[in-house]
Amino acid sequence: MRLVVNIPTYNERENIEEVIKKILPQSKLLPNIDLHVLVSDSHSLDGTAEIVKKISQFNPKVHYLDVKQRGLGIGIVKGHRFAIDRLKADILAQMDGDLSHDSSTLPVMLDFIKKGFDLVNGSRLIKGGNNYLGWHRRIFTRGSAYYCKLSWGTFDLTEYTNSYRMFTKQLFDKIDFTKIPWRAKTYIIQPSFLYAAIKAGAKIKEVPITFKDRKKGYSKAKIIAYTIDVIKFGIRVRLEKSKTLIKFLSVGTLSYFINAITLGILNRGEIYNLIVLSKPLLSMIPSFENAETFWFMTIDRLFVSSIISIEFAIIFNFIFHENWTFKYRSHDGSVLLRFLKFNFSSFGSPAVQLASIMIFARALHLHEQIGLAVGVIIGLFINYFVNMVWIWKDND
Ligand SMILES: Nc1nc2c(ncn2[C@@H]2O[C@H](COP(=O)(O)OP(=O)(O)OP(=O)(O)O)[C@@H](O)[C@H]2O)c(=O)[nH]1
Ligand SMILES: [Mg+2]
C-alpha cells in the first residue's frame, strides 16, 4: 500500500529539506507501506522548488508539484488529487512544511487507518497533545475549537484548525468539494475539510500531537481573516442544519391542518366550524351515545375518525420527510421499514405530552395547558432527533 505525505508549501526553503529528511526514515516503522513525499508548492520563488526538485532527482519517493496559485487549500486539495491520480496513493497524509509537526506521529496515525478509521486527526487539545504557539495563537486554536463544537454540534472532536491528518483515498473521493471554500486565501480548508469528512460519514480518530512553533522562515497565517472565515463557516453549517429543522416544523404544521381537516370532515362534515358536507363522511359509524364499548374503549365515530386522521397526517409527514425534509440524508433500507419506524416513533409524541401534562398538573400543581405546551415542544424535538438518528441518518 502506498502512503503519500502531502506537504503544502509557500516559501519554505529554510525548512523543506529537513522536513523531507525527517519523514523518509519513518518508512522503517511502517511495514508493508510504500512511503512517498509530495511537496505541493504554490510557485514559491525563494528556492523551495529547486531544493525539492533536486532531492526528487535522486530519490524517486520524493515528488514536486507546482500548484501555481496561492492558498493552503489549493496546495492541499490539488496535492491529494495528484497523489491519488498520478502517484497511485491508497492513503494520504498532510503536514506542514515548517517542522511544526513531528513526523514520528505518522506510524501512530497509520495504525488507526489500518484499524478501519477513515480519518485520523492530529490534535493538540486532547490528553497528551501540546501546542507550543504564542498565547494569542493558542487562544485562536481553543476558541475556534469551542466555536466549531457548538456550531457544528460535534462535541466528540477536539481539534479543528490543524493540518496534520491522515485519511484514506476512499474518503477523499467522497468529499464534496463544491461545498468547501478550498480556494480561499485563509486556512479555512482545515476545519471545512473536516466537516465535509463528517458529512461523508467518516469514522474519525483523534491522536495527540505536539505542535512546535516554526524556527525558520516566516508565517503565512492570517489569523484575523482566518477567524472571520471560521465564524462564517460555522454560521453556514448552522443555517444548513436549521434549514432541516425549519422544513421539519413546516411539514409538522401543515400536517396538523391536514389532521384537523380530515378529522372534521370524517366526524362532523365540517372544516373547523365551516359546514362542507351535509353529513359526516363516516356517518355510518354511530356517535358516542349509540356506540358499543369494548373493554374500556368506546368505538364511536370520533374514535375511528381520529385514528384515520392521525394516520393520514403521519403518512403526509412521512412522504414529505422522505422526499423533502430529509431528502439529502441516508435512505438506507426499504421505504416500508422507514415508514413503520416513523409510525412507531410518531406514537412517542403523545406519550411525552401526556407525561408532561401529568407532571405539570399533578406534581407541580400548574395549569395543564402549560404541561401540554411544554410537552408539545419536547415531543417535537424528541421526534426530530429520533428521525435524524434512527430513520434518516446523517451521511449525506
Ligand atoms: N501550497 C501552499 N502552502 C501554503 C500556503 N500558505 C501557507 N502554506 C503552507 O502551509 C503550512 C502552514 O503555514 P504556516 O505559515 O506555517 O502557518 P501556521 O503553521 O499556522 O503558522 P506558523 O507556523 O506560526 O508560521 C506551511 O507548510 C506553509 O508553507 C500557500 O499559499 N500555498
Ligand atoms: Mg507553521
The residue whose CB lies within 8 Å of the most ligand 1 atoms, and thus the one to mutate among 5, 6, 7, 10, is 10
Global confidence as pTM:
0.76
**Domains defined for the chain, CATH in brackets:** 2-221 (3.90.550.10), 240-391 (no CATH)
Which chain residues have CB less than 5 Å from ligand 2, an ion?
96, 98, 100, 214
- Measured CA to CA, the distance from residue 171 to residue 194 in angstroms comes to 11
Closest residue by CA, ligand 1 atom 23: 214
Ligand nearest to the CA of 10: 1
Question: Measured from the CA of 220, which atom of ligand 1 is nearest?
Answer: 15
Length of the chain: 396
CA geometry: angle 338, 343, 347, nearest 5 deg: 140
Q: Are strands 130-132 and 210-212 parallel, antiparallel or unpaired?
A: parallel
Q: What are phi and psi of 314, to 5 degrees?
A: -65, -45
Edge to edge, what strands does the sheet with 204-208 contain?
62-66, 34-41, 2-9, 91-94, 165-168, 119-123, 204-208
Closest Cα to atom 9 of ligand 1: 9
Q: What is the pLDDT along the chain (396 residues), one digit of tens a residue?
A: 999 999 999 999 999 999 999 999 999 999 999 999 999 999 999 999 999 999 999 999 999 999 999 999 999 999 999 999 999 999 999 999 999 999 999 999 999 999 999 999 999 999 999 999 999 999 999 999 999 999 999 999 999 999 999 999 999 999 999 999 999 999 999 999 999 999 999 999 999 999 999 999 999 999 999 999 999 999 999 998 889 989 999 999 999 899 889 999 999 999 988 999 999 999 999 988 887 888 777 888 988 998 899 899 999 999 999 999 999 888 889 999 999 999 999 888 888 888 998 999 889 999 888 888 898 889 888 999 999 889 998 754
Mutate to test the pocket of ligand 1, among 72, 78, 223 (most ligand atoms within 8 A of CB): 72
Atom of ligand 1 nearest to the CA of 96: 27
CA dist 309 and 259 (Å) reads 5
Q: At what angle do helices 368-386 and 223-267 cross, to 10 degrees?
A: 120
For the record, the C-alpha cell of 212 comes out as: 512546535
Rounded Cα distance between 177 and 394, Å, is 18
**Rounded CA separation 126/130 (Å):** 8
Q: Which residues contact 226 (CB under 8 A, 6 or more apart)?
A: 140, 161, 186, 187, 188
Contact between residue 172 and residue 92 where contact means Cβ atoms under 8 Å apart: yes
Quote the strand ranges of 213-362, DSSP E. Answer: 270-271, 274-275, 293-294, 297-298
Mutate to test the pocket of ligand 1, among 5, 220, 227 (most ligand atoms within 8 A of CB): 220
* Strand positions, DSSP E, 139-257: 165-168, 204-208, 210-212
CA of 134 relative to ligand 1 center, distance in Å: 16
- Give the three cell numbers for residue 210: 505536539
Q: What is the pLDDT of residue 347?
A: 86
d(CA 20, CA 16): 6
Q: Which residues pair with 85 in a beta bridge?
A: none
Q: Could you say which ligand is closest to the alpha carbon of residue 189?
A: 1
Atom 24 in ligand 1: which residue has the minimum CA distance? 219
Q: Cα of 186 to ligand 1 centre, how many Å? A: 10
Q: DSSP string spanning 18-40?
A: HHHHHHGGGGGGSTT-EEEEEEE
Q: DSSP 3-state assignment of 209?
A: coil
**Ligand 2 geometric centre to CA of 217 (Å):** 9
383 vs 396: CA distance, rounded Å: 20
Assigned C-alpha cell, 50: 529547486
3-state secondary structure of 204: strand
- Spatial separation of the C-alpha atoms in residues 291 and 167, rounded to whole Å: 67
Which residue's CA is the nearest one to ligand 1's atom 17?
221
Report residues whose beta carbon is within 6 angstroms of any ligand 1 atom.
8-10, 12, 40-42, 67, 70-72, 75, 96-98, 100, 213-214, 219-221
Question: For residue 61, how far is its CA from the centre of ligand 1 (angstroms)?
Answer: 23
| Residue that the C-alpha cell 497523489 belongs to | 83
